[in-house]
Amino acid sequence: MTHTAVTDNGAKPQSSTTYYSLLGLHPSASVIDIRRAYRELSKRYHPDTTDLPATIATAKFQQINEAYATLSHPERRLTYDLKIGYSRFGVIQAPSDLNRPVSNPYDWSKSAYLDASDRPLSSGEIFALFILGLTFLGCLILAIAIGITRGDATFPTQLPQPTSSMQQHITYLSAVTKLHL
């Protein structure tokens, strides 16, 4: 089920669009993202608040309302997703090219283990991971350095010599043990 969208200048695009593209979202968008996009677009295209001609604004506003009514209701959204061929359970379903000839190279873009929303890390995320790695490495080096410099005092290899009170206690325990035997 696809719908043609009306652009800001009133022209209809050549390709048909989905409810998700009307709201500017990916099919994996959360309910919060859908609500946020709907509120923003409904303010922009409401016939009483926009500078667009009334017919264009009304048509666009109706399309946005129809899209939101479908995507905000879980059962209607699931039915709509199945109609447009999107499934949140791609790992369970068999790939469409299961019986393809072996001579054709495999198209990894259809792999069940790759998500369409996967993206490379941003430079900020890479920098944060770099700082995290440096912090871990610095802590490890610091722990090793402390262990080496304080190793003799921290891990004694010889047993301490008993003091006079300890010697008296050991003598008492051995005497009590002999009496019970």
Query: How many Å apart are CA 65 and CA 34, to the nearest integer?
Result: 12
* Segment 66-105, tens digit of pLDDT: 999 999 888 898 889 888 887 766 545 555 666 666 665 5
Per residue in 122-164, pLDDT (tens digit) is 888 899 999 999 999 999 999 999 888 876 555 556 666 666 7
pLDDT at 38: 92
Closest CA to 117 of 20, 3, 2: 20
User: What is the second-level CATH architecture of the domain 1-91?
Assistant: Orthogonal Bundle (1.10)
Q: What percent of the chain has pLDDT over 70?
A: 65
Distance CA 56, CA 9 (A): 8
Q: Give the pLDDT band (50/70/90) at residue 45.
A: confident
Q: pLDDT tier at 5 (50, 70, 90 boundaries)?
A: very low
Quote the DSSP letter at residue 102. T
The residues, ordered by sequence, that sit 6+ positions from 33 with a Cβ below 8 Å of its Cβ are: 25
Task: Report whether pLDDT(168) > 90.
Answer: no
Pull the structure tokens for residue 15. 């390709």
Going from the C-alpha of 107 to that of each of 32, 68, 135, the distances in angstroms are 33, 34, 40
pLDDT value for 139: 95
pTM over 0.95: no
What is the pLDDT, as a whole number, of residue 172? 80
**Taking all residues of the chain, what is their mean pLDDT, rounded to a whole number?**
76
